[in-house]
Amino acid sequence: MSDKRRIVVVGGVAGGATAASKARRCCPDAEIEIYDQDEFISYAGCGLPYFIGGHSPNWRRLLARTPDQFLEKQGIRVFLRHRVSSIDTTNKTLRVVDLEGVSELSIDYDVLILATGAAPVVPPLPGRDLEGVFVLRTLTQALEMKSFIDLQAPHRAVIVGGGAVGLEMCEALRRLGVEVHLVELLDHVLPPLDADLASMLGDHLEKNGVQLHLGEKVEGLEGDGNGRVRRVVTSGGVLEAELVLLSIGIRPVSDLAGQAGIELGVRGAVRVDAGMRTSAPDVLACGDCATTLHRVTGKESWIPLGSTARKQGRVAGETAAGNEASFPGVLGTFILKAFDMAAGKTGLGVSEAVEAGFQADAVTVEDSVLPGYYTRDLPRLTVRVTVEKNTGRVLGAQVVGDYAAQADKRLDVFSLCLAAGLTASDLSSLDLAYAPPFSRPVDLPIVAGNLAEARVLGRECTCDAEGLE
């Protein structure tokens, strides 16, 4: 291994910045450069709704590292506002456009890491270019939206899309006193959840002033004659709005790789192996532009999450430095907060499990998470666990309930069960921490394990949170 290898990273934020940093730790004398077309290189992308909502009004607190810090602390050179326009994998060169100087450069590499991320899906809606219409994926976009809100003080907003970012932005805008309408094509918010569980979240949104328009399709946007958005036309009617957020979904930014002849996989993401290697020699990919393995189904998947991007970035950095590293895949674990409720999921729901070829069933537990004598204000949580019939293997879990119910703690228990391949019987006998301020003597994951174990064994069983059948 040459200590003078030249490692070039295309893209920053979670995947690219982590990959470059890990490569530096593993290969102290390498030349490492990052090229990114944006204005910022390393920041907390998941914190953008909370910045807009005023939880962290100083946007600089979202910055993890600046280009100067990369250079001073790690000797990594960062080139912002530089777009890589093409890759020559045969000659191992890049064409780079300096967006400020409008010039082109030719860059050589020994190892290339693609961390081009994902981009918002923006359908060809009439009026999508009107002032006041936003997407939210980058810090630059968040700053533009925040500036618009501060200057224009919009009274009414329409959010298109009921996924995680859309729900977080409902809370952010309501916190600012804005009237919020949420338009979702499906009949429930947060599509990854089962509909009945998601409806609990939908009811909570409405109690907090969010007006839901479910099962409606956005057909276009209309302006006021001065280029500013004023109305959203849906299949169900017309909604007045001075601000519109298109939060329909994201897609992997893989055009650069595809044009270079690099193999693409599911959903058009760059196909990688466990070491983050692509089909091209000495070209790696990580983060939201890359595929991953789903650890329950064993199938190639595309599940873009910031936590996954960082873990993939670490592996890509090690591989780029010449070390052996492997990323085992993901379970698709996520959680979000919407006002005073939390909702999350890991692994598969029943319909997804059946579609993946499993014989599956589910059990649902809804109860308080603390003993009744401890407090009058008992936070409640609904837990649904998917298990494989015959074997009892835990395939997934969903949680919805009060924010104070520590849904993340329970969800993490299920995530570890999935990673370890545990069964319902294993779940029912877990030795979890207990004291009255934290949980009941038999916590909800264990209760769910008891019920799931009985379901697998084919006998009827009811079990309360005290473990009494």
Catalytic residues: 46
437-441: which pairs have CB atoms within 8 A and are 24 or more residues apart? 437/370, 437/374, 438/370, 438/406, 439/369, 439/370, 440/367, 440/368, 440/369, 440/370, 440/371, 440/465, 440/466, 441/371, 441/466, 441/467
d(CA 424, CA 309): 30
Q: Are 460 and 439 in contact (CB under 8 A)?
A: no
Residue 91 buriedness (CB in 10 A; 0-12 / 13-18 / 19+): exposed
Distance CA(230)–CA(130), nearest Å, equals: 9
Q: How far apart are CA 419 and CA 411, in angstroms?
A: 12
CA–CA distance from 178 to each of 143, 148, 175 (Å)? 18, 13, 7
**The tokens of 274 are what?**
């466990």
Dihedral of the alpha carbons of 386, 392, 395, 397, in degrees to the nearest 10: 40
Contact 64, 43 (CB under 8 A): yes
Amino acid at 331: L
Q: How far apart are CA 145 and CA 162, in angstroms?
A: 19
C-alpha R_g of the chain: 24
Please, is 226 exposed, middle or buried when counting C-beta atoms within 10 Å of its C-beta (0-12, 13-18, 19+)?
exposed
